Amino acid sequence: MFSDPKQLSKAERICRVVELIPCGQVSTYGRIADYAGLPRRARFVSQALRQAGNANIPWHRVVNSQGKIALAVGSTEYFNQIERLRAEAVVINTGRVNLKQFLWQPDAATLIFSLPF
């Protein structure tokens, strides 16, 4: 039987959504929160990702609403994220991604069947 997504913890729901971001595309903290059924909880998304540490989730595909890398500029993790994105052909200019071009826009089937939150 299918597990009921609503009984997953909030952090788990967030990770589940992040895993759906396709290679070569990005999403934002605010949008991830919305897709996870947690509106106005953008900050909680970053918290959840940090706690998840690594866990095979494509955390590098998440940027802020302006398309900018949210990690401390110049930090090791900052460069790590840029490298991972460039490896997926995502173009980054001065720490910023052009959302017009790379923002993930889930199709209806994904919204209905993969994001039932």
Partner DNA sequence: GATGTGACGACTG
Partner DNA sequence: CCAGTCGCCACAT
Footprint on residues 34-63 left by DNA (CB under 7 A): 38, 40-47, 49-50, 59-60, 62
Q: Which stretch binds DNA (CB under 7 A): 33-41, 83-91, 106-114?
A: 33-41
Cβ atoms of residues 43 and 29 within 8 Å: yes
* CA–CA gap between residue 103 and residue 31 (Å, rounded): 10
Q: How far is the CB of 66 from DNA (least distance, A)?
A: 7
Residue 68 pairs with which residues in a beta bridge? 96
Instruction: Enumerate residues 3-22 that contact DNA by CB under 7 A.
Output: 10-11
Q: Which two tokens stand for residue 90?
A: 């995502």
Q: How far apart are CA 114 and CA 28, in angstroms?
A: 18
Interface residues for DNA in 65-104 (CB under 7 A)?
Answer: 65-66, 70-72, 77, 81, 94
Residue with tokens 């994220």: 81
The smaller minimum CB distance to DNA, of residues 75 and 113, is found at 75
Contact residues for DNA (CB under 7 A)?
A: 10-11, 28-31, 38, 40-47, 49-50, 59-60, 62, 64-66, 70-72, 77, 81, 94
